[in-house]
Amino acid sequence: MPMAPPSYCFVAFPPRTKDDRVVFGKNSARPREEVQEVVYFAAATHDPGSKVECTYIEIDQVLKTHAIVLSRPAWLWGAEMGANEHGVCIANEAITTREPASETEALLGMDLVRLGLERGATAKEALDVIVSLLEKHGQGGNYYEDGSSCHTFQSTFLIVDRAEAWVLETVGKYWAAEKVTEGVKCICNQLSLTTKIDVEHPELRSYAESQGWWTGDTEFNFSEVFSLAEDHLDCCSGHESLEKQGKVTVQTMIDVLRDKASGICVDSETFLTTASIVSVLPQNPSSPCIHYFTGTPDPSRSIFKPFIFVDDVKLVPKVQSPFLGDDDPVKKKPRFQEKPDRKHELYKAHELARSVTENDQDKGEKLMRIMLDLERQGLEAMEDILTSTEVLDPAEVVDLFYDCVDTEIKFLK
């Protein structure tokens, strides 16, 4: 399998956004046939000394984990992207660097996304969680559900809350991070940090010197030191796409994620944007954060459905893949000797609708107009919530995402 194409992730801060809101978005470019599910886990308390089983390894559990919502490849424990009840959003990108990624099973970058969300109540807390676990357990193992070959990568992260974002880039257990509080930031499948580093692994520079990648005589430039090639700033194409939008809103972020001409929406023979997320994080803490998920491939033919954290939020089995437990081929060694059907009900309905509309252009265009109108109604309803002076009644949104998925399936069928 060739190297993954750029998988873009964005954040925009006031004054580049409207109404003092932070807007976050990501397209997840993965193998074409991979299914992503959208899953919610309630806040929980755990017994002292208990363990948590991640994708490949078991680690110590903490006493309390936050409520989280994730978009994840259905075969793994972690996530490509997600959010928690405190308004923290995290996304992960796979990268290659001068330091070869390890095939030894450890934490995946996607596991670290979930762990950061479960354990961090702010972006900085989540950053600290991720780097401490990275240093303790390392990263490694197959990024794809592929029994014939091991595809390994290093990881970068975009970690965002209502006030700030952190770009975290890793090379093995070594790492560096930059704080962002204004403007627009884009990361993709290449290193992007240069000389502006706000926090870093204490042995980062000495390690680079020991490998002969930096002499210490020049200014330390993270991307130049650790990148394989000179093209470590190719993420700028994504940055330019968002910069063209003027004031960034949820709708403009969605439009950018749907853009195939720029390459931001990936649709190739091998890879596809298998799921997308957009989140709006009002800087006013009395307003709720709203997270929009597709749960289906290709945002140009999917719709973004809203989710708001409230107590007793209704679970959505129709966007969750079948649970296989210990019989899952990911749990058995050697791993991935079989590839089970992981399609959930929304994915199947989306797939069926695509096959029908590909054979009937008029029907396809009519269905897409209906779906986009459904999405527009959802965006307008969420805007009413964000601009309301009244306190949100949780009962009004406890089944919000459930109802949106249910309605979408009915239209697709």
111 in Cβ contact with 54 (< 8 Å): yes
DSSP secondary-structure letter at 325? G
Distances (CA, A) of 52 to 90, 190, 337: 20, 30, 24
Q: Which of 9, 235, 289, 404 is catalytic?
A: 9
188 in Cβ contact with 238 (< 8 Å): yes
Read off the amino acid at residue 101: A
Check whether the bond before 334 is cis (ω within 30° of 0).
Answer: yes
DSSP letters for 245-308: TSSB-HHHHHHHHT-TTTTSS-B-SSEEEEEEEEEEEESSTTSPPEEEE--SS-GGGS--EEE-
Q: Closest Cα partner for 174 from 138, 225, 140?
A: 138
> Exposed/middle/buried for 154, CB within 10 Å: 0-12, 13-18, 19+?
buried
DSSP letters for 109-162: HHHHHHHHHHH-SSHHHHHHHHHHHHHHH-B-S-SSS-SS-----EEEEEEE-S
Largest CA distance in the chain: 64
- Residue 387 — φ and ψ, nearest 5°? -95, -5
Based on the residue annotation, tell me whether 289 is a catalytic residue of this protein.
no
Dihedral sign for Cα atoms in the order 307, 308, 309, 315: negative
327 Cβ contact partners less than 8 Å away, ≥ 6 residues apart: none
Task: Please name the residue that has the structure tokens 């708001």.
Answer: 308
Q: Which residues are catalytic?
A: 9
